[in-house]
Structure 1
């Protein structure tokens, strides 16, 4: 995947979108361009719907590439002025930040501020100063949950929080004790582990928003297996039945069946599909049972990208198109590799043919946009197995 361009082998500059800068010796992943493209489009979308000046915060700016692209690509989409604040706690980053952001110095309509503070201190001081932001990018190392309430407290109603987590072990069921500490939840190993991690992170975000009396709307959620990324919009009030999106996901390791229950309607679990009493549910959660994506907004971003020709690399466009086609419902996902293994097939069934067969039976079925080779459906487990066997 080509995410950006080095100008030549002797030049330390890196080009991405409209930005040209030096990434420096700190941590930087060229492969993370899809997340940066998404942040640029979300910032531009915020700018187009703004009714007044915009305030955007890059809380962990690194080399400053997101802020530079915001200023060069996103800000021109709005007639309103932009207050752009880039922060990184590492004091050794400041010289690099100042050099990389020179193109925004004196840039019409952009008021640039740089700082080097711990994220928690900046957010708490912003709250005390009654500063609010329309867009916050929190690109954290490890689990970001300790910063969630502070970030949401300074996010405007209708504002967007873009969140990243590199904590892959605890929410995917590989460190269950850490999952209890960080998410107050059980996390069990699951074939759809990336989606499980995203839903646990969304549940943590929703609980923090609800404690503030606010509502939460997922806009886009995805992962490359290394970093888990979410974009959510904060609403003034909790939506109708929004609390019904918090629940539990159960899976029987023996037979592969799955079941879901909202916390508000929690009761005894139904029997799994085991023919004997060997099977037993392994339950994960509480986690988010609602949608993972906003297909309408993602379509608006794809349309907006046509007017911003440098904003969306081909791999990023393919990612957004996959997410736009998969709202994240129903919750239960199955891997075609697991289906083939359970049926003793030589290889996985053709995914799109399996989706069509289930749809022909009157069930909802679609390809997962979160993990390759997976489908989500509301068809009973035995029906799903039978359709796989028919295709084989």
Structure 2
């Protein structure tokens, strides 16, 4: 993947997140809170779509509204709340982690889809005969992928397999094989509908690197 495409994929997810974050801020000022129902990106256009439910009142906590960090040194991404803003660091660098960290926010850090709403969309599509006729259509694949992406255990963003392979200095293992190995170790995984060769997960980059090396038969301690 060339640098332009990598930046484009990062920008698409960031655009959806920023759009949702802006709605969260505006709703809060007016005495409302929002719940994302589904978010969609297509490279044709490109097209960004976000459907939000507006609710009266305010959330008791801002657990899905905070800061996201990316460490250029180790590749790990973390989420921090407002209360943790002064304690942001990365375990790979200890107290000096801030030098390698890129901090974004405040941003929406919660799921970009509602599992309950996506399930209703799937049921309605089946009722209308759009899916479920034996052959899995693109629509059915997309809705199922969105349902997987709505797992609340998943962190915001995604991990690109090209980056994992680059940091591990190996050829990238097959995506499904990698996801299966991560799941066996207790991590949540999902493919991303935004980036085809990326995984949404709660698995740290360091563990992703170790698993990928093991799958390729490479010693984790080798360079």
| TM-score of the two chains, using structure 1 as the length reference | 0.47
Check if 1:301 corresponds to 2:147: no
Q: Which runs of 5+ in 1 are unaligned?
A: 1-173, 175-188
Spell out the pairing of 1:266-277 with structure 2 (5 A cutoff): 266-273=85-92
- Of the three residues 70, 75, 85, the one matched with 1:256 is 75
- Of the three residues 201, 213, 223, the one matched with 1:389 is 213
Call closer, same or farther: CA 1:286–1:370 in 2, change over 3 Å.
Answer: same
* Equivalent-residue separation in structure 2 for 1:194 and 1:350 (angstroms): 24
- Of the three residues 153, 163, 166, the one matched with 1:338 is 163
- Relative contact order (C-alpha < 8 Å, sep 6+): which is higher? 2
Q: Secondary structure in 2 aligned to 1:366?
A: strand
Q: Which runs of 5+ in 2 are unaligned?
A: 217-223
Between the two proteins, the alignment pairs up a number of residues equal to 202
Q: Displacement, 1:314?
A: 3.2
* Equivalent-residue separation in structure 2 for 1:272 and 1:192 (angstroms): 24
Q: Displacement, 1:217?
A: 0.7
- Of the three residues 187, 207, 213, the one matched with 1:363 is 187
* Equivalent-residue separation in structure 1 for 2:113 and 2:60 (angstroms): 18
* Equivalent-residue separation in structure 1 for 2:128 and 2:190 (angstroms): 30
Q: Displacement, 1:261?
A: 0.7
Contact 1:192/1:333 (CA < 8 Å) preserved in 2? no
More displaced 10-residue stretch of structure 1: 278-287 or 217-226: 278-287
Match of 1:231 in 2: 51
Q: Deviations over 1:122-142 (max 9, x none)?
A: xxxxxxxxxxxxxxxxxxxxx
* Equivalent-residue separation in structure 2 for 1:370 and 1:272 (angstroms): 29
Call closer, same or farther: CA 1:363–1:233 in 2, change over 3 Å.
Answer: same
Task: Say what the alpha-carbon RMSD is for the aligned residues.
Answer: 2.7
* Equivalent-residue separation in structure 1 for 2:84 and 2:38 (angstroms): 27
Check if 1:315 corresponds to 2:133: no
Match of 1:203 in 2: 21
Determine which structure has more spread, i.e. the larger CA radius of gyration: 1
Q: Displacement, 1:299?
A: 1.0
Match of 1:194 in 2: 12
Q: Displacement, 1:377?
A: 2.1
* Equivalent-residue separation in structure 1 for 2:138 and 2:189 (angstroms): 25
